[in-house]
Structure 1
Amino acid sequence: MHVQIGTSIQHPSLPVLEKRLYRISLFNLFLVSFIGLYLRSAPVTSIWAGSYKNILHAHSHFAFGGWIMPALVALIIRFFPELANTISYKHWRNLSALLLIAAYGMLCSFPFQGYGPVSICFSTLSIIASFYFAWLVWHARVSSKDSIAHQFLRAGLFYLVLSSAGPFATAPLIAMGKAGSALYFNVIYFYLHFQYNGWFTFALLAVLYKITGHAPGRYSKNAFALFNISCIPAYFLSVLWSHPAPAFFIIAAVAAILQLIALFYLLADIVDNNNNRRLNGLVRLSLGIFAMKIILQLLGAFPAIADMSYLHRNFIIAYLHLVLLGFVTFFIMGAMHLHESPTERSSKKWSILFIATWILTEGLLLLQATGEVADFQIPNFTTWLFLASCFFPVAILGIWIKDLSS
């Protein structure tokens, strides 16, 4: 049943909140990059304080809760005004506050206690905030027939809620003495899969269809259906490292093939759409990386490649950064600066530096991981990776400062 939770009249402060939320998120990305740089300094300096594992937890949780989630909320407010304007301003204000309080709480608690009472409370608050967001947007649906963009968004909200089953299942597993087991890690991968390949992907594709226009493309229904059908079984791509029964390899392979077909439909839809000129360079680059992600997932369905990826950590790190930086971050930045003319693009040189740094660090990670397979090493790899990563916070800080002045 549709629940009216506000009016369709835009609150005058909503655009201000959306812009402010994005700018805070962008600053949080700077903090994420700075923490990442600190982590990469560990092998190259004798002056290093703290627990590497705990700081890594802070880095990953804050990346999700402090950068991606608030930025996606800002995107939804901007590109779905017919939904945003039916939700009372106080809900958006409260949601933003909850997300940021939870994010900074995790940032400040994880480095000192890892998974402890305080950090778990803030992690739980972050999940509650995501439920709140899903409830708000789900019940703010427009009364007319859903567009393809709305369908992608609603599916994304479903996967956002579904992903929370992962964190909620870890506590019972720890209590049963299963921490560190294959089941424990597969529960964590359950959360990551439905965040990366569910919520993040479907939300960004919803925005993509908003950018390219309201009229459904010739292939949009096929693209949505196949991405949606394949999302749940594609989870098994994340568990192949534990050598499950052969049936799981078959399910994972079929899901990966369906995703690849969905990708072809999506790209055909974009090429066929006259409004594809609205897409700027960053969004186009992001979609190219998204295509690369789909192809890599298909390759990962082969047992030998699944084993190789699991045994060599730098392959995993490179893949995570491919998704979080290459696909998600580039798309968010491109979409938020979509309507700027070339002369108004305040962060162009900093964006180029950001992209170049990402390419350089990805190349180093892949080269080192390949070297481990082929039995050769990059001399002073950790030093080179640290030096290359120094440009991440510089570029992001430059983008943030320019965004403040625009």
Structure 2
Amino acid sequence: MNSFLSKWLSISILNLSFVAALGLILRYKIAYSLPFLDQKYILHSHSHFAFSGWITQTLMILMIFYLSKSLGKEITNRYRWLLYANLISSYGMMISFILQGYGLYSISFSTLNIFAFYAFAFYFWLDLNRIKEKSTTILWFKAALVFGFISSFGAFNLAYMMANKMSNQNVYLTSIYFFLHFQYNGWFLFAGMGLLNDKLEIITGERMKLYRAFQLFCFACIPAYFLSILWMEFISNIYILLITAVISQLASWIIILNVYYKNRSLIRQKITHYGKILLILSALAFSIKLILQSGSIHPELSHLSYGFRPIIIGYLHLVLLGVTSIFLLGYIVSFELIRINKLLIKGIFIFVAGVIINELLLMIQGVAALSYTAIPYINEMLLAAAVILFSGILIMLISRFTILKKEVMQRL
């Protein structure tokens, strides 16, 4: 078993447990009371650490492993300090946001985190150019790095506004959606697709179809941002472009699904049974996400959805938990990048059950909010879903620590 993956992916799972713990605290504060903790501060900590400490950290680890297969295992040593820089700055953000919200320390750690990503992007780009056999995977990864870089402009603008106590609502919202869009529709999506494309190209040999899918997604990424800000006056002038972007995304996803369907028997031989289930669930969540995003092209639907907090939270959790987190776990399990045992699988599927229950409850809450209907005990039920999520991750952690302890004992 690869020691680099074993160590760093265990840290990723630990980080996921911190994300879930903060989410649990947020849900508890809504349902009951926890007066000594500030809700907004915890929310900032939860969201920033989820992006950097869990998703970005894990994508970096898996991308570095991809490099090591072409450039040798020693390449991982080059990136250790960057992984530590991302990790330390992520922990710094998690703690400082809890203590002060947006302030000197949290903004400093956020800035350090962004520069750690810049350094990673720079070195990773150079190393991608060293790979002799060119593939669409390299294009997915390069696009991911570019979109991750672009997303930081929104983060810097937000930090500037918070530090200077500026209150322009339109600028504030456009900056938030700019950062979010180029993170989860740019950096997260393209990095994940790069990992998936690498396996699909090797297994199926469908290079041209996968290249076409990349082109369509890449074309759509920038104009698709404007779907998040349909209330802006100038949007009507580029409405045709937005429709084209939506169609391009759907077409690209259909191509990828077609590649899977045509080669499904071959693909199933190369991945584990539980990994297949997880990847299918992630693909289903992504399909729902694309359908919802396509529906938002209608201005009235967009105004309606962005006007209700439960709908926004449900959508974000669909992307970050249903699509991205389940994909990362599914990818790790599919190709057995760490030792897999029954306890780990049990923990993962308890976590997945929590994700599904959480999404269903948020969907019910969001639909009810449209008619201003209150759902009895909805906050308590969402708290229960958060407990299930957290419990699943704890079981995953116990599994990893048990395995790591056995590995250490074997070396002794």
TM-score for both structures, normalised by structure 2: 0.89
Aligned-pair CA distance for 1:189: 1.1
1:227-267 per-position Cα deviation (integer Å, ceiling 9, x unaligned): 00000101101111445541244332221111111111111
Task: Report what 1:114 is aligned to.
Answer: 101
Does 2:28 match 1:16?
Answer: no
Aligned-pair CA distance for 1:43: 2.6
1:166-186 per-position Cα deviation (integer Å, ceiling 9, x unaligned): 122235556887434212210
Secondary structure of 2:334's counterpart equals: coil
Letter in 2 for 1:331: F
1:166-223 per-position Cα deviation (integer Å, ceiling 9, x unaligned): 1222355568874342122101211111110011001111111222243344411210
Residue of structure 1 aligned with 2:255, choices 259, 265, 282: 265
Change (3 A) 1:17 1:57: same
Task: Report what 2:193 is aligned to.
Answer: 205
1:360-379 per-position Cα deviation (integer Å, ceiling 9, x unaligned): 11111111111121343211
Distance in 1, matches of 2:388 and 2:162, equals: 39
Task: Report what 2:317 is aligned to.
Answer: 321
Does 2:214 match 1:224?
Answer: yes
Aligned-pair CA distance for 1:68: 0.7
Does 2:23 match 1:32?
Answer: no
Q: Are the equivalent residues in 2 in contact too, given 1:353–1:391 (CA < 8 A)?
A: yes
Q: Are the equivalent residues in 2 in contact too, given 1:230–1:255 (CA < 8 A)?
A: yes
Does 2:320 match 1:332?
Answer: no
Residue of structure 2 aligned with 1:374, choices 362, 371, 374: 371
Residue of structure 2 aligned with 1:190, choices 178, 188, 205: 178
Task: Report what 2:243 is aligned to.
Answer: 253
Q: Percent identity?
A: 35
Distance in 2, matches of 1:110 and 1:168, equals: 16
Change (3 A) 1:112 1:177: closer
Q: Are the equivalent residues in 1 in contact too, given 2:4–2:76 (CA < 8 A)?
A: no
Q: Are the equivalent residues in 1 in contact too, given 2:93–2:109 (CA < 8 A)?
A: yes
Distance in 1, matches of 2:356 and 2:131, equals: 44
Task: Report what 1:53 is aligned to.
Answer: 40
Change (3 A) 1:232 1:19: same
Distance in 2, matches of 1:86 and 1:134, equals: 19
Change (3 A) 1:287 1:114: same
Letter in 2 for 1:125: L
Task: Report what 1:357 is aligned to.
Answer: 354
Secondary structure of 1:49's counterpart equals: coil
Change (3 A) 1:133 1:335: same
CA RMSD of aligned residues (A): 2.3
Change (3 A) 1:343 1:380: closer
What are the within-5 Å matches in structure 2 for residues 136-147 of structure 1?
136-141=123-128, 142-147=130-135
| Number of residue pairs aligned between Structure 1 and Structure 2 | 393
What are the within-5 Å matches in structure 2 for residues 120-159 of structure 1?
120-141=107-128, 142-159=130-147
Aligned-pair CA distance for 1:62: 0.6
Aligned-pair CA distance for 1:60: 0.4
Aligned-pair CA distance for 1:153: 1.0
Which 5+ residue runs of structure 1 have no aligned equivalent? 1-13
Aligned-pair CA distance for 1:343: 8.2
What are the within-5 Å matches in structure 2 for residues 19-98 of structure 1?
19-82=6-69, 85=72, 88-98=75-85
Change (3 A) 1:244 1:368: farther
Greater CA deviation, 82-91 or 198-207? Answer: 82-91
Aligned-pair CA distance for 1:337: 1.7
Distance in 2, matches of 1:231 and 1:46, equals: 41
1:343-401 per-position Cα deviation (integer Å, ceiling 9, x unaligned): 84542222221111111111111111111213432112111211222111110111122
Distance in 2, matches of 1:26 and 1:65, equals: 13
Secondary structure of 1:60's counterpart equals: helix
Q: Are the equivalent residues in 1 in contact too, given 2:71–2:131 (CA < 8 A)?
A: no
Task: Report what 1:394 is aligned to.
Answer: 391
Distance in 2, matches of 1:218 and 1:146, equals: 13
Does 2:317 match 1:310?
Answer: no
Distance in 1, matches of 2:340 and 2:169, equals: 54
Q: Are the equivalent residues in 1 in contact too, given 2:121–2:145 (CA < 8 A)?
A: yes
TM-score for both structures, normalised by structure 1: 0.90
Which 5+ residue runs of structure 2 have no aligned equivalent? 404-412
